[in-house]
């Protein structure tokens, strides 16, 4: 019985099995061949690159050396020409400078005398302008102080005639009422003694939701503008509906914060603000919208008082004029001026006037002093300029002589320094080129060593994986052919023949895998190395020893992978196998 015939039939019968093994062996060979080609290609390319780099560096150094020699010669000629021209120019300029400085000295003396006279006239005119400006600034200061004193607040109270003033001063709040329409009537009149009208209701109450804490409830709707005047910025902002503003003491005692919801007399309010400490009845007060306060106090359409701000009246009896004018418009009312605030306004106006007068006098004194100082300065400047011009003329003569000597020495030094610099630069350039070439060579050597170490790991792993895969395929084949092997043993095949049957198949697998792997490896290596077959140095990528190793590697992989499964199959007892089947 022909073993090769049995082997070929086995391959034909199990083509997929044989194909998988062939792919594995071919892959191992192609990896070995392509890796070897790529490593060899990288080495050749590195050698070429280093040779080109060294040649370019030598050419560049030679070119730089020639360029520096030409530049040195040109520089020497330029410096010699400049030195001669400088020598002639300095002699000419020295003589011209002497005459120029003499002329400038006389001209400067005339200019300084004229400037002194002009400065005196300017300072006199400036003194008059300054006096006018200070007077104007004083008037503006008085006006500014008048506006600032608005921050002191309302200083006129319009109360109902039946309000007990003694009780008002004792309790701090008004108890009598008058129609709310009175404030509209007053605003619509042509009153001139007051402005910033603010209707209010006030009442001392106990806050039932807050342990009956006694507070002053103030309701206001915001200032009412006068019909015959342009609207003015209000002294205080209006309180919106549903909002409460709390005095300092009330807020601190009850722990009320801005943004908090509180209940007062059965109605909810949102606290918009808690005032800082003012040291007055305001610290124990709460403010609501006028309409809501009237509803809570059952005082619809009535108010307790109208607050106002007196105008800047330049009369002795301010209050008398205010009372007379308001009485003609609102009979049945009485007027109170808050003395401390009115006094503060008057003192502020007097202070502004006194300050303006003092500033005016000080400005006049400063202007006179400045005029005297500038006159002395102008005279001193004229004397100093005369001395400086004389010194400059003498110093210029010395500097010109020294400059000529310095330029002569400097030009000679530049020629010597340029020659030394060129020599040092060429040496450094050669040194840098050698270091750069060595660094490039070291970098490429390190990268080549890394590639070789990687290949030393990759190739054994691929070979081992291929052998293991062939062994697994052979073992599986032997398991499936137990019955066939038993029959062959029963009809007379010995152990060696059965072993030859499996190893022969492995040999064919290795030979075919070697051929395919060589072709695939050469193709992959050339393609990945970006080289064509026609290139002159392509043949240097191949070595006969590597091709022999690759050709023998495939059969060895196949035989090693199939050896152990083949021995196991050949040693099986045919009687036992046939009995199991």
pLDDT digits (tens, 9 = 90+) for 94-134: 778 777 767 776 776 677 667 666 766 775 676 577 667 65
- Bigger pLDDT: 415 or 313? 415
- Bigger pLDDT: 132 or 218? 218
Cβ proximity of 494 and 500 under 8 Å: no
Angle, vertex CA 431, rays to CA 427 and CA 437, nearest 5? 145
> Among 313, 337, 361, where does a domain finish?
337
Strands, DSSP E only, in 37-167? 156-160
Residue 345 lies in a domain: no
Residue 390 lies in a domain: no
Are 165 and 299 within one domain? yes
Side by side, which strands form the sheet with 285-289?
261-264, 267-274, 243-246, 285-289, 213-220, 194-207, 305-310, 156-160, 333-337
CA dihedral 117, 123, 125, 131 (to 10 degrees): -160
How much of the chain, in percent, has pLDDT values that exceed 90?
A: 14
pTM, two decimals, is 0.39
Are 333 and 459 within one domain? no
Residue 308 lies in a domain: yes
Of 190-194, 225-229, 536-540, the range with the lowest mean pLDDT is: 536-540
Structure confidence at residue 2 (pLDDT): 53
Structure confidence at residue 578 (pLDDT): 47
Are 327 and 194 within one domain? yes
Residue 38 CA to residue 525 CA, distance in Å, equals 6
Are 306 and 185 within one domain? yes
Cβ proximity of 31 and 524 under 8 Å: no
Residue 50 CA to residue 438 CA, distance in Å, equals 9
Structure confidence by residue, pLDDT tens digits, 175-205: 899 999 998 888 888 786 777 788 999 999 9
- Bigger pLDDT: 489 or 372? 372
Residue 326 CA to residue 462 CA, distance in Å, equals 114
- Bigger pLDDT: 320 or 169? 169
Residue 49 lies in a domain: no
Q: Which residues pair with 307 in a beta bridge?
A: 157, 198
Cβ proximity of 302 and 180 under 8 Å: yes
- Give burial (CB, 10 Å; 0-12/13-18/19+) of 404: middle
Structure confidence at residue 148 (pLDDT): 45
Phi, psi of 332 (to 5 degrees): 90, 15
Residue 272 to residues 188, 213, 238, 243, 285, Cα–Cα distance (Å): 32, 20, 12, 6, 14
Residue 153 CA to residue 308 CA, distance in Å, equals 9
Residue 147 lies in a domain: no
Which residues, 6 or more positions from 212, have their beta carbon under 8 angstroms from its beta carbon?
206
Longest dimension (CA), the chain: 153
Are 303 and 178 within one domain? yes
How much of the chain, in percent, has pLDDT values that exceed 70?
A: 57
Long-range contacts of 359-364 (CB under 8 A, 24+ apart): 359/134, 359/137, 359/138, 359/141, 360/131, 360/134, 360/135, 360/138, 363/130, 363/131, 363/133, 363/134, 364/127, 364/130, 364/131, 364/134
Total domains, the chain: 2
Structure confidence by residue, pLDDT tens digits, 380-421: 766 776 677 677 767 777 777 787 778 778 877 888 887 888
Residue 388 lies in a domain: no
Residue 269 lies in a domain: yes
Q: DSSP for 430-450, please give it.
A: HHHHHHHHHHHHHHHHHHHHH
> Over 50: is that where the pLDDT of 152 sits?
no
> Over 80: is that where the pLDDT of 286 sits?
yes
Determine the average pLDDT of the residues in 16-26: 67
Are 330 and 452 within one domain? no
Structure confidence at residue 254 (pLDDT): 92
- Bigger pLDDT: 519 or 424? 424
Structure confidence at residue 190 (pLDDT): 79
Are 316 and 463 within one domain? no
> Among 317, 337, 357, where does a domain finish?
337
Phi, psi of 303 (to 5 degrees): -135, 165
Structure confidence at residue 267 (pLDDT): 92
Element (H, E) at 205: strand 194-207
Determine the average pLDDT of the residues in 59-88: 83
> Among 302, 337, 372, where does a domain finish?
337
Are 31 and 164 within one domain? no
Structure confidence at residue 70 (pLDDT): 87
Number of C-beta neighbours around residue 316 at 10 A: 7
Per the structure, the complete domain to which residue 570 belongs is given by 3-43+445-580
Residue with tokens 């400037």: 115
Which residues, 6 or more positions from 229, have their beta carbon under 8 angstroms from its beta carbon?
195
Residue 223 lies in a domain: yes
- Give burial (CB, 10 Å; 0-12/13-18/19+) of 150: middle
Structure confidence by residue, pLDDT tens digits, 490-502: 555 555 555 556 6
> Over 60: is that where the pLDDT of 527 sits?
yes
Structure confidence at residue 218 (pLDDT): 93
> Over 70: is that where the pLDDT of 574 sits?
no
Structure confidence by residue, pLDDT tens digits, 338-359: 754 544 555 555 565 566 566 6
> Over 50: is that where the pLDDT of 427 sits?
yes
Residue 44 to residues 75, 131, 265, 520, 550, Cα–Cα distance (Å): 46, 97, 102, 22, 22
Residue 497 to residues 2, 4, 485, 490, 567, Cα–Cα distance (Å): 10, 11, 11, 13, 11
Cβ proximity of 289 and 221 under 8 Å: yes
Are 185 and 332 within one domain? yes
């Amino acid at each position: 019985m022909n073993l090769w015939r049995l082997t070929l039939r086995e391959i034909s019968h199990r083509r997929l099995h044989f194909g998988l093994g062939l792919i594995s062996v071919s892959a191992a060979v192609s990896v070995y061949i392509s890796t070897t080609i790529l490593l060899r290609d990288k080495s050749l390319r590195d050698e070429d690159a280093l040779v080109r780099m060294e040649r370019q560096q030598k050419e560049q150094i030679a070119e730089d050396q020639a360029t520096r020699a030409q530049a040195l010669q040109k520089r020497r000629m330029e410096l010699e020409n400049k030195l001669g021209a400088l020598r002639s120019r300095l002699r000419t300029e020295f003589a011209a400078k002497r005459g120029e400085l003499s002329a400038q000295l006389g001209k400067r003396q005339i200019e300084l005398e004229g400037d002194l006279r002009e400065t005196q006239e300017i300072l006199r005119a400036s003194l008059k302008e300054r006096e006018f400006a200070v007077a104007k600034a004083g008037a503006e200061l008085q006006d500014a102080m008048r506006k600032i004193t608005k921050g002191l607040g309302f200083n006129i109270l319009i109360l109902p005639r039946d309000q007990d003033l003694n009780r008002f001063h004792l309790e701090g709040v008004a108890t009598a009422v008058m129609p709310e329409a009175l404030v509209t009537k007053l605003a619509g009149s042509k009153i001139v003694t007051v402005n910033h009208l603010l209707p209010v209701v006030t009442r001392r109450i106990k806050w039932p939701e807050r342990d009956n804490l006694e507070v002053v409830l103030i309701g206001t709707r915001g200032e009412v503008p006068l019909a015959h005047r342009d609207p003015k910025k209000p002294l205080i902002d209006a309180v919106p509906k549903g909002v409460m503003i709390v005095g300092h003491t009330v807020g601190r005692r009850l722990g009320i914060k801005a943004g908090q919801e509180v209940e007062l007399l059965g109605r909810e309010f949102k606290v918009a603000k808690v005032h800082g400490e003012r040291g007055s009845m305001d610290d124990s007060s709460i403010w609501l919208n006028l309409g809501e306060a009237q509803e809570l106090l059952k005082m619809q359409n009535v108010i307790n008082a109208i607050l106002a701000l007196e105008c800047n009246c330049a009369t002795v009896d301010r209050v008398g004029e205010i009372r007379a004018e308001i009485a003609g418009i609102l009979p049945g009312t009485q007027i109170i001026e808050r003395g401390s605030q009115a006094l503060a306004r008057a003192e502020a106006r007097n202070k502004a006037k006194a300050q303006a007068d003092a500033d005016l006098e000080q400005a006049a004194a400063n202007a006179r002093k400045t005029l005297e100082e500038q006159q002395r300065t102008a005279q001193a400047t004229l004397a100093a300029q005369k001395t400086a011009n004389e010194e400059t003329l003498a110093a210029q003569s010395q500097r010109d002589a020294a400059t000529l000597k310095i330029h002569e020495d400097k030009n000679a030094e530049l020629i010597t320094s340029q020659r030394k610099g060129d020599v040092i630069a060429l040496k450094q350039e050669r040194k840098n080129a050698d270091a750069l070439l060595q660094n490039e060579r070291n970098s490429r050597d390190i990268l080549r060593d890394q590639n070789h170490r990687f290949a030393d790991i990759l190739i054994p792993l691929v070979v081992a994986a291929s052998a293991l895969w062939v062994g697994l395929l052979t073992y599986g084949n032997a398991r499936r052919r137990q019955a066939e092997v038993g029959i062959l043993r029963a009809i007379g095949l010995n152990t060696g023949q059965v072993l030859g049957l499996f190893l022969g198949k492995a040999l064919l697998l290795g030979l075919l895998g070697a051929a395919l792997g060589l072709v695939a490896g050469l193709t992959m290596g050339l393609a990945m190395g970006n080289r064509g077959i026609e290139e002159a140095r392509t043949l240097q990528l191949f070595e006969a020893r590597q091709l022999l190793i690759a050709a023998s590697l495939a059969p060895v992989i196949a035989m090693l992978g199939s050896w152990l499964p083949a021995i196991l199959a050949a040693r099986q007892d045919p009687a036992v196998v046939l009995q199991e089947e």
